[in-house]
Chain A
Amino acid sequence: MIYNIPYIAVAALILLGLYALIFKRNLIKMVIGITLIESGVNLFLITLGYRKDSIAPIYTSSPGGTMAFPVPQALTLTSIVIGVAVLALMLSLVVHIYRHYATLDVSKIRRLKE
């Protein structure tokens, strides 16, 4: 019985994303970090809804047997589309920041407080 390996994978994904977000200077790397955390939380939502050797909760020509939970899959669908929306907005802001400051380095962009 794979004890809790999926949850450890979730924790690893989230920590990788957090590392990229907190310690990296480049804006694009921060955006990638947030997407990593997003996929980690989605993976966590999906693994919550699995039952031992269950099949997808769809009745069309289904082989029969216990079915996995449908609710976490619906929540993950919503969370994935939210991830796409946030990603699109962040990237368009990064394009504009690059246009203004001609650099992607966070420390240079933090404008000098006069």
Chain B
Amino acid sequence: MNIPDYTIAMVVAIPLLGAFLTPLVSKINDKIRNIFVILVLALNAGLVFLLASEILTKGIKTYIFGAKDLTFPIVRILFEVDAMSIFMAIISSILVLIAVIYSWAFMKENTGLDKYYTLILLLTAGMLGMVLTGDMFNFFVFLEISSIASCALIAFWTDVGESVEAGFKYIVISSMGALFVLFAVALLYGQYNALNIALLSNLIQYTFLDKIALVLLIIALAMKAGIVPMHMWLPDSYGSAPSSVTVILVSATLASLYGVLRVIFTLYGNALSTLIRFDISVNVLIGWFIVALAVISIIIGVTMALIQSDFNRLIAYGAVAEIGYMFLGIGAGIVALGTAYGKIALNGGIFHIMNDALDVALLFLVAGSIYYATRETSLDKLCGLARNMKYTTVFFIIGLLAIAGMPPLNGFASKILIYESTFQINPILAIVAILCSILLLAVFVKVFFSAFMGPKISKYSDVKEVPKSMLISMGIIASIIVFIGLFPDIIISNIVEPASNALIGYSEYVSQVVGGL
């Protein structure tokens, strides 16, 4: 069943058109605006799944903006979608759809909601554009759109001092990162007079300037992905943003992580195997750099999560630890690029991107529903909520077991791949990873007993369950998590495997553009 060629462009154009129409639609009334936004996102998710079925069966598709075929000096902008980018697009579109359904009831009494939904649609367009584009400068433009939109969304509750300060910190760090990305793109353009990722990957001879551009790109994109030395913005912005916004922020952060992967595997693909002094090849160097950062971020994430008393900040530090697991899997995959267990590590890393996005999203939705019910996020004051909020407690247990990597659920399926492969590289890595995963379980069990169990105190005796739409969205994520946990090999064989093949087999990505001329 082949779909028209322009669906790739429509995947980004529809959220943009929806965002431009929302201010006009919201002039009618609020309910029609909410329905309009959910319809736009549902249509967009449908298109992404249609495109995914097309890509996973027929391989890479490209789409040129403004012309039918490719002239030799690639002048126009090119969208190039392979299994890895469609994998990230699936995660982003699911999470945004669920976040908007959740925020229907969660955001009812706030003002300025038409701007809120406009910014959510713009953030979706920014993320999908970042993930699907095949042009370096276009990647920078969409990176900037998603960072400005998410900064404004973080500072949504302007009467709370922390969220405005978190928004400012976020925009300073992400505009710094975006400027480094622009400088690196300018460096590459200055040398090779080309902006297309596939063409650049073909032209790069790994001169000293290319090394500077590589370092700048990795530092800037890892900074926006929340790696340890530059992770200070993550707990502040996840902690003080509305929970439905934080769910979308998780997928925005993963889009920057995708940027790191695209730069290392595709842009510098054939430079990875060049030998530098005393015959270490480049990928071993980069791999160990990422693995080291990953281990530090796991340790810092878990230890900081132990001492937090605010629910949102605790989950945010858990998310930092989970991003550390992703980078651990990917870094191990880069170190052992050619070998079998390197492939398993990469599979584990990429699979963990999907699993962790869903787990952290579910936990933030639970935190949001607790905030909705009790207007309180600090754990010391919460007590005995299990009696009245039955469903939320069940969802919290599912989220808790999943993020800690307990067997029946999806966290385990990807973490076992990471443990198994990192053990072959260096046993210490696997031991540290397992210990921190158990610590993470301890952190969330402490939260469970302090917030949900405990005596019934008068203040929360009349707490009632959250409205239906919030429960539905939490239920969707929980069912996806349980489904992936019970049948992981379905997901691995036909989504994760093609994605890691697409990353490693970068020459097919390049020949799709350069080969055709």
Do the two shown chains form a genuine complex with each other? yes
- Which A residues fall within an 8 A CB radius of B? 14, 21, 27, 30, 34, 37-38, 41, 44-45, 48, 71-72, 75, 78-79, 82, 85-86, 89-90, 93-94, 96-97, 100-101, 109, 111, 114
A109 touches B165 (CB 8 A): yes
B161 touches A89 (CB 8 A): no
Question: Within the assembled complex, what's the spacing in Å between the Cα atoms of A90 and B186?
Answer: 25
Chain A residues lying within 8 Å of B189, measured Cβ to Cβ, are 45, 48, 71-72, 75
Q: How large is the interface on B (under 10, 10 to 19, 20 to 34, 35 or more residues)?
A: 20 to 34
A22 nearest CB across to chain B (Å): 10
Chain A residues lying within 8 Å of B182, measured Cβ to Cβ, are 41, 45, 79
Chain B residues lying within 8 Å of A71, measured Cβ to Cβ, are 189, 195
Interface majority SS (helix, strand, loop, mixed), chain B = helix
B175 touches A86 (CB 8 A): yes
Which 7 A-B residue pairs are closest in the complex by CB-CB distance?
A100-B161, A48-B190, A93-B168, A96-B164, A86-B175, A82-B144, A45-B186
Query: Within residues 130 to 165 of chain B, which ones have a CB less than 8 A from any CB in chain A?
Result: 137, 141, 144, 148, 151-152, 155, 158, 161-162, 164-165
B165 touches A111 (CB 8 A): yes
- Given the interface contacts A30-B172, A34-B175, A78-B141, does A44 sit within 8 Å of B183 by beta carbon? yes
Question: Within the assembled complex, what's the spacing in Å between the Cα atoms of A101 and B160?
Answer: 11
Most buried by A among B144, B171, B186: B186
B179 interfacial contact with A, CB 8 Å: yes
Query: Within residues 378 to 436 of chain B, which ones have a CB less than 8 A from any CB in chain A?
Result: none
Chain A residues lying within 8 Å of B137, measured Cβ to Cβ, are 75, 78
Residue contacts A-B, CB under 8 angstroms, 17 given: A34-B172, A41-B183, A72-B186, A75-B186, A86-B171, A89-B171, A90-B168, A90-B171, A93-B171, A96-B158, A97-B161, A97-B165, A100-B161, A100-B164, A101-B165, A111-B161, A111-B165
B266 nearest CB across to chain A (Å): 21
Contact with A along B174-193 (1 / 0, CB 8 A): 01101100110010011000
A37 touches B176 (CB 8 A): yes
A41 touches B179 (CB 8 A): yes
Chain A residues lying within 8 Å of B164, measured Cβ to Cβ, are 93, 96-97, 100
B331 interfacial contact with A, CB 8 Å: no
A90 touches B152 (CB 8 A): no
Instruction: Give the residue of A14, A79, A89, A111 whose beta carbon is less than 8 angstroms from that of B152.
Output: A89
Question: Within the assembled complex, what's the spacing in Å between the Cα atoms of A30 and B168?
Answer: 11
A27 touches B168 (CB 8 A): yes
A37 touches B172 (CB 8 A): no
B287 interfacial contact with A, CB 8 Å: no
B141 touches A97 (CB 8 A): no
A93 touches B179 (CB 8 A): no
Question: Within the assembled complex, what's the spacing in Å between the Cα atoms of A101 and B152?
Answer: 19
> How many A-B residue contacts, CB cutoff 8 Å?
75
B205 interfacial contact with A, CB 8 Å: no
- Which B residues fall within an 8 A CB radius of A? 137, 141, 144, 148, 151-152, 155, 158, 161-162, 164-165, 167-168, 171-172, 175-176, 178-179, 182-183, 186, 189-190, 195, 309
Interface majority SS (helix, strand, loop, mixed), chain A = helix
A111 touches B162 (CB 8 A): yes
Q: Nearest chain-B residue to A45 (Cβ)?
A: B186
Q: Nearest chain-B residue to A72 (Cβ)?
A: B189
A78 nearest CB across to chain B (Å): 6
Chain A residues lying within 8 Å of B161, measured Cβ to Cβ, are 97, 100-101, 111
Question: Within the assembled complex, what's the spacing in Å between the Cα atoms of A86 and B417?
Answer: 41
Question: Within the assembled complex, what's the spacing in Å between the Cα atoms of A86 and B186?
Answer: 20
B316 nearest CB across to chain A (Å): 13
Chain B residues lying within 8 Å of A34, measured Cβ to Cβ, are 172, 175-176, 179
Instruction: Give the residue of B151, B179, B183, B309 whose beta carbon is less than 8 angstroms from that of A89.
Output: B151
Question: Within the assembled complex, what's the spacing in Å between the Cα atoms of A93 and B182?
Answer: 24
B155 touches A93 (CB 8 A): yes
A93 touches B167 (CB 8 A): yes
Q: Nearest chain-A residue to B190 (Cβ)?
A: A48
Chain B residues lying within 8 Å of A38, measured Cβ to Cβ, are 179
Question: Within the assembled complex, what's the spacing in Å between the Cα atoms of A113 and B158?
Answer: 20
A88 nearest CB across to chain B (Å): 10
B172 touches A82 (CB 8 A): no
Chain A residues lying within 8 Å of B141, measured Cβ to Cβ, are 78, 82
B455 nearest CB across to chain A (Å): 24
Question: Within the assembled complex, what's the spacing in Å between the Cα atoms of A94 and B158?
Answer: 12
Question: Within the assembled complex, what's the spacing in Å between the Cα atoms of A41 and B176?
Answer: 11
Question: Within the assembled complex, what's the spacing in Å between the Cα atoms of A44 and B190?
Answer: 10
Question: Within the assembled complex, what's the spacing in Å between the Cα atoms of A114 and B308?
Answer: 10
B155 touches A21 (CB 8 A): no
Question: Within the assembled complex, what's the spacing in Å between the Cα atoms of A71 and B291?
Answer: 38
A44 touches B179 (CB 8 A): no
Question: Within the assembled complex, what's the spacing in Å between the Cα atoms of A105 and B151?
Answer: 21
Using A75-B189, A78-B137, A82-B178 as known contacts, list a sample of 13 further A-B pairs with CB atoms less than 8 Å apart, ordered by residue number in A. Answer: A21-B176, A27-B168, A34-B179, A41-B182, A71-B195, A75-B137, A75-B186, A85-B148, A86-B175, A89-B152, A96-B155, A111-B161, A111-B165
